[in-house]
Structure 1
Amino acid sequence: MYKKTYSMLKQHNYLTKTIFALFLLVSANTLSAQTIIKGLVKDAKTQETLPGVAISVKNSTTGAITDENGGYQLNVLPGKYTLVTSYISYQPLEITDIEVKKGEPTIVDIPMIESEHALGEVYVVAIGRINSEISLLSSIRKSNAVVSGVSAQQISKSQDRDASEVIRRIPGISIMDDKFVVARGLSQRYNNVWVNNSTIPSSEADTRAFSFDIIPSSQIENIMIVKSPQPELPSDFSGGFIKVETKGIPSENSIQVNYGIGINTQTQFKDFKYSKGSGTDFLGFDNGLRSLSGSVSSGRIDNNNKDQVNNLAKNGFNNDWTVKTKNPLPDQRFGFVLNRKYTGKDNSLWGLITALNYSNTSKTYTDMENSRYGVYDSNNDKPYFTFKYTDNQYNNDARIGALANLIYMPNEKHRFEFRNIVNQIGKNRYTDREGYQNTSGFYGQRKAEYIYSSRLAYSGQFAGKHTLTQRDNLDWVLGFSYSNRNQPDRRIINWEENGYPGDAHYKEFQIDQNDITRDFNKLNEYNYTLSTNYTHDFTFDSGFKPSVKAGIYAEYRDRSYNTRFFKYRWIPENLPEDFSYRNVYTQILIPDNYGADKLYVYDDTERLNDYSGTNEQMAGYVGFNIPYNEFNIYAGVRLEHNKMSLKSYTTILGDKSKTTDYSYTDIFPSLNASYNLTNDHLVRLAYGRSTNRQEFREISSSSYYDFDLFSFVAGNPDLKPAYIDNFDLRYEFYPSNSEIFSLAFFYKHFKDPIEWTYLDGGGTYIYTFRNANKANNYGVEVDIKKKLDFIGLRDFSLTFNGSLIKSKVKFEENSGANHDRPMQGQSPYLINAGVFYQNENLGLNSTLLYNIIGKRIVGIGRVSSTSGSSINNDIPDMYEMSRNVLDLIVTKKLGQHIEITAGIKDILASKAKYAQFPKFIDKEGNTHEREQVTKEFRTGQNISLTAKYSF
Structure 2
Amino acid sequence: MQKLSINRHKLFIAMSAASLSVLSSGAMAQAQTETSDKPVIEAPVLEEMLVTGRQQSGAQTLTQERMEDAFAADLMGADQISRTGDTNVAVALTRVTGVTLNQGKYVYVRGLGERYSSVQLNGAQVPSPELTRNVLPLDIIPSSIVESLKVQKAYSPDLPASFGGGNVDIRTKSVPDEFVLEMTLGTGTNTNNDSNNLSYSGGSKTSGLPKPIDQALDTYQGVIDINGIRRILSTEVDNSVTPEQAQQSIQINRDLALAVNRNVDIKKDKPSLDQNGAVTLGNAWELGDDWTLGSMLNWSQKTEWRNKNQARRGVGAPDVTYSSIKRSTEDTKELASIGVGIKFQEMHELEASYMKIGNETDEAAITLAQNSNNNLADGNQKVTYETRYQDRELEVTQVLGKHVFDQLSGNTLGNFDLDWFYSDSSVKTNIPGASTIGGDNTVDPQTGEILATRITSSSSAQFAYLNLQDDVRSYGLNAKLPLSFDNAEITLRGGYSYNDKSRQYYGYTALIDVGGGDYLLGTPGNVFTDSNISNLDNAFELTMSRGFGTESYIAAQMTDAAYGMIDANFNDVWRFTAGARYEDYRTALLPVDLLDYTGITLQKLIEELAKDGQTFSSRSDDWHPSAALTFINDGFMWTETFQLRLSYAQTVVRPDLRELSDVVYIDPELNLRVQGNPNLVFSTIDHVDLRGEWYFDGGNNLTATLFYKDIANPIEQKLNPGSDTDIVMGFYNAESGEIYGVELEGLMNLDYGFFLSGNLTISDSEIVSPDNQGFTNATRTMSGQSPYVLNAQLGYDSDDGKHGAALSYNIAGKKVYFAAFETGHDDAFEQPFSSLDFTYSYYPTEKLTLKAKLRNLLDEDREITQTNASGQKVTILTQEVGTSMSLDISYKF
Q: Same fold (TM over 0.5)?
A: yes
Deviation of 1:705 (Å):
5.3
Query: Which letter does structure 1 place at the counterpart of 2:200?
Result: S
In 2, Cα distance between the equivalents of 1:235 and 1:599? Answer: 54
Match for residue 746 of structure 2 among 784, 790, 801: 784
Q: Deviations over 1:115-154 (max 9, x none)?
A: xxxxxxxxxxxxxx99822222221111111101211011
Deviation of 1:883 (Å):
2.7
Task: Please say if 1:494 is aligned against 2:494.
Answer: no
Q: Which residue of 2 aligns with 1:273?
A: 198
Task: Please say if 1:409 is aligned against 2:343.
Answer: yes
Change over 3 Å in CA distance of 1:709–1:815 after alignment to 2: farther
Alignment of 1:202-221 (within 5 A): 202-221=128-147
Match for residue 886 of structure 1 among 817, 832, 836: 836
- Could you tell me whether the CA contact under 8 Å between 2:388 and 2:434 is conserved in 1? yes
Alignment of 1:194-205 (within 5 A): 194-205=120-131
Q: Deviations over 1:42-100 (max 9, x none)?
A: xxxxxxxxxxxx9x9xxxxxxxxxxxxxxxxxxxxxxxxxxxxx994569xxxxxxxxx
In 2, Cα distance between the equivalents of 1:665 and 1:259? Answer: 51
Q: Which residue of 1 aligns with 2:183?
A: 257
Change over 3 Å in CA distance of 1:249–1:435 after alignment to 2: same
In 1, Cα distance between the equivalents of 2:295 and 2:589? Answer: 41
Deviation of 1:850 (Å):
0.9
Question: Equivalent residue of 1:137, what SS?
Answer: helix
In 2, Cα distance between the equivalents of 1:326 and 1:519? Answer: 25
Match for residue 657 of structure 2 among 692, 696, 721: 696
Match for residue 770 of structure 2 among 812, 816, 823: 812
Alignment of 1:862-877 (within 5 A): 862=821, 874-877=824-827
Q: Deviations over 1:710-763 (max 9, x none)?
A: 764322222110100011111111114743210111111110111122332488
Question: Equivalent residue of 2:826, what SS?
Answer: coil
In 1, Cα distance between the equivalents of 2:700 and 2:307? Answer: 40
Gap regions ≥5 residues in structure 2: 1-5, 13-32, 36-40, 50-54, 230-248, 610-615, 635-639
- Could you tell me whether the CA contact under 8 Å between 1:565 and 1:606 is conserved in 2? no
Q: Which residue of 1 aligns with 2:702?
A: 741
Q: Which residue of 2 aligns with 1:282?
A: none
Query: Which letter does structure 1 place at the counterpart of 2:141?
Result: I
Q: Which residue of 2 aligns with 1:531?
A: 476
Task: Please say if 1:483 is aligned against 2:483.
Answer: no
Deviation of 1:919 (Å):
5.9
In 2, Cα distance between the equivalents of 1:774 and 1:275? Answer: 48
Task: Please say if 1:452 is aligned against 2:389.
Answer: yes
- Could you tell me whether the CA contact under 8 Å between 1:131 and 1:221 is conserved in 2? no
- Could you tell me whether the CA contact under 8 Å between 1:546 and 1:626 is conserved in 2? yes
Deviation of 1:275 (Å):
0.5
In 2, Cα distance between the equivalents of 1:813 and 1:748? Answer: 23
Task: Please say if 1:192 is aligned against 2:129.
Answer: no
Question: Equivalent residue of 2:720, what SS?
Answer: strand
In 2, Cα distance between the equivalents of 1:134 and 1:545? Answer: 24
In 2, Cα distance between the equivalents of 1:436 and 1:90? Answer: 64
- Could you tell me whether the CA contact under 8 Å between 1:137 and 1:738 is conserved in 2? no
Deviation of 1:433 (Å):
0.9
Match for residue 235 of structure 1 among 161, 165, 169: 161
Query: Which letter does structure 2 place at the counterpart of 1:207?
Result: R
Query: Which letter does structure 2 place at the counterpart of 1:666?
Result: D
Q: Deviations over 1:646-692 (max 9, x none)?
A: 11147973453336221001110101221112251111111111111
Gap regions ≥5 residues in structure 1: 10-53, 57-85, 92-111, 115-128, 279-285, 375-382, 865-873, 921-928
- Could you tell me whether the CA contact under 8 Å between 1:639 and 1:667 is conserved in 2? yes
TM-score, normalised by the number of residues in structure 1: 0.79
Query: Which letter does structure 2 place at the counterpart of 1:428?
Result: D
- Could you tell me whether the CA contact under 8 Å between 1:314 and 1:591 is conserved in 2? no
Query: Which letter does structure 2 place at the counterpart of 1:749?
Result: D
Change over 3 Å in CA distance of 1:814–1:429 after alignment to 2: same
In 2, Cα distance between the equivalents of 1:631 and 1:833? Answer: 33
In 1, Cα distance between the equivalents of 2:853 and 2:215? Answer: 47
Q: Which residue of 1 aligns with 2:733?
A: 771
Deviation of 1:458 (Å):
1.8
Deviation of 1:808 (Å):
1.5
Task: Please say if 1:797 is aligned against 2:755.
Answer: yes
Change over 3 Å in CA distance of 1:832–1:736 after alignment to 2: same
Q: Which residue of 1 aligns with 2:628?
A: 672
Higher mean alpha-carbon deviation, 705-714 vs 779-788, is at 705-714
Question: Equivalent residue of 1:585, what SS?
Answer: helix
**Among the aligned pairs, what percent are the same residue?**
21
Query: Which letter does structure 2 place at the counterpart of 1:782?
Result: L
Change over 3 Å in CA distance of 1:321–1:544 after alignment to 2: closer
Task: Please say if 1:653 is aligned against 2:596.
Answer: yes
In 2, Cα distance between the equivalents of 1:594 and 1:862? Answer: 47
- What is the RMSD of the two structures over their aligned residues, measured on CA atoms? 3.1
Deviation of 1:313 (Å):
0.9
Q: Which residue of 1 aligns with 2:858?
A: 908
- Could you tell me whether the CA contact under 8 Å between 1:564 and 1:606 is conserved in 2? no
Question: Equivalent residue of 1:145, what SS?
Answer: coil
Q: Which residue of 1 aligns with 2:557?
A: 615
Alignment of 1:163-178 (within 5 A): 163-178=89-104
Deviation of 1:277 (Å):
4.5
Change over 3 Å in CA distance of 1:688–1:438 after alignment to 2: farther
Task: Please say if 1:422 is aligned against 2:364.
Answer: no
- Could you tell me whether the CA contact under 8 Å between 1:134 and 1:738 is conserved in 2? no
**RCO higher in structure (CA 8 A, sep ≥6):** 2
Deviation of 1:839 (Å):
2.3
In 2, Cα distance between the equivalents of 1:412 and 1:429? Answer: 51
Query: Which letter does structure 2 place at the counterpart of 1:531?
Result: G
Question: Equivalent residue of 2:175, what SS?
Answer: coil
Q: Which residue of 2 aligns with 1:351?
A: 294
In 2, Cα distance between the equivalents of 1:263 and 1:900? Answer: 17
Q: Deviations over 1:553-585 (max 9, x none)?
A: 11110011100011121454xxxx333344432
Match for residue 519 of structure 1 among 455, 461, 464: 464
Question: Equivalent residue of 1:312, what SS?
Answer: helix
Query: Which letter does structure 2 place at the counterpart of 1:805?
Result: S
Task: Please say if 1:289 is aligned against 2:194.
Answer: no
Query: Which letter does structure 2 place at the counterpart of 1:398?
Result: T
Q: Which residue of 2 aligns with 1:119?
A: none
Q: Which residue of 1 aligns with 2:637?
A: none
Q: Which residue of 2 aligns with 1:681?
A: 642
Change over 3 Å in CA distance of 1:389–1:207 after alignment to 2: same
- Could you tell me whether the CA contact under 8 Å between 2:547 and 2:593 is conserved in 1? no
Change over 3 Å in CA distance of 1:520–1:437 after alignment to 2: farther
Deviation of 1:914 (Å):
2.1
Task: Please say if 1:391 is aligned against 2:325.
Answer: yes
Question: Equivalent residue of 1:546, what SS?
Answer: strand
Deviation of 1:709 (Å):
6.5
Query: Which letter does structure 1 place at the counterpart of 2:762?
Result: L
Change over 3 Å in CA distance of 1:476–1:715 after alignment to 2: same
In 1, Cα distance between the equivalents of 2:645 and 2:252? Answer: 69
- Could you tell me whether the CA contact under 8 Å between 1:563 and 1:605 is conserved in 2? no
Query: Which letter does structure 2 place at the counterpart of 1:364?
Result: N
Q: Which residue of 2 aligns with 1:844?
A: 803
Change over 3 Å in CA distance of 1:919–1:201 after alignment to 2: same
Query: Which letter does structure 2 place at the counterpart of 1:265?
Result: T
Higher mean alpha-carbon deviation, 751-760 vs 208-217, is at 751-760
Q: Which residue of 1 aligns with 2:867?
A: 917
Match for residue 943 of structure 1 among 878, 881, 885: 885
Question: Equivalent residue of 1:139, what SS?
Answer: helix
Deviation of 1:413 (Å):
1.5
Q: Which residue of 1 aligns with 2:524?
A: 584
Task: Please say if 1:362 is aligned against 2:362.
Answer: no
Task: Please say if 1:663 is aligned against 2:615.
Answer: no
TM-score, normalised by the number of residues in structure 2: 0.84
